[in-house]
Amino acid sequence: GTEVILTLPDPTPVATAPEAIPLAIVFEDPHLIVIDKPAGLVVHPAPGARDGTLVNALLHHCGGSLSGIGGKLRPGIVHRIDKDTSGLLVVAKSDAAHHGLAAQFKAHELERRYLAIAHGAPDPADPRLAHLAGTSWEPGGVLRIEGNIGRHPGDRKRMAVLTSDGKPAVTRARVLERFPPDGPRASLIECRLETGRTHQIRVHLTFAGHPLVGDTVYGRRPGAGPLASFPRQALHAASLGFVHPVTAEPLRFESPLPADMAGLLESLRACNGEAMLHEA
């Protein structure tokens, strides 16, 4: 029986201003632009990040040539990667490119390859994975993780694998390197996306028991060593391939590991060497 009265403020106009933020441009033509995004850069304005975003930088670089389909906050944005994930993403400069790229994303026709450094290493001999619903092993030691992703029922800021809700999501993960080789504390993992859900790799690898190093939202931070000090989720969008939506030319781009992840791998490999010396 309680009466509640809400007084809403008048709506304020949206103004996303161009900003001279440096961009690592991998490819550009009149229809699209491919960016190698550094970790720490938000893709588009949102609460808590109204400026200093990739969109602000694109507005400065491209002027008025971004696709307007995404609206004033997301002009040209076809897909996103998290603020603290580095690597490649494509932005539409024309509406034709936006429609064509969106169709390829919907049909899962793009190649998206990520490199991740995770705690532990997925293993076909792991009894937990053998009995975990939604996980299976494919030829070549590829772990297939299938599980709907949606908002966590107890924390709306997080995503989770859900059994009766969410959107279908499939991730394929393959271990490239273990640190140390026997009884690994960490591993370098290649991930390929069949779908593109919010936080998909982070959520799926955590679901499989191998959260990303540095992921304070879904993972854990060990007490000491190089794994404890890494300041972000160790995830990099390393390859991006698609058919040009206007010219029909096949395009594929690669981005080397950024300095922070490369340095972490060097530290882990050095620990491998020390462990081998102690064993000898």
Q: Which residues are part of the catalytic machinery?
A: 82
Q: Which two tokens stand for residue 236?
A: 């990099």
Block residue for tokens 């009466």: 3
Give me 103's structure tokens.
């169709």
SS3 letters for 186-252? EEEEEEEECCCCCCHHHHHHHHCCCCECCCCCCCCCCCCCHHHHCCCCCEEEEEEEEECCCCCCEEE
Q: Cβ of 253: how many Cβ atoms within 10 Å? A: 18
Give the SS3 label for residue 87. strand
Q: How far is CA 227 from CA 102, 186, 271, in A?
A: 37, 8, 11
Dihedral over Cα of 48, 53, 54, 56: its sign? positive
Place of tokens 């040539």: 65
Q: Give, in order, the Cα–Cα distances in Å from 102 to each of 32, 38, 64, 78, 237.
A: 13, 23, 20, 6, 18
**Which pair of structure tokens corresponds to residue 3?**
């009466």
d(CA 97, CA 156): 33
User: Both tokens of residue 149?
Assistant: 């992703």
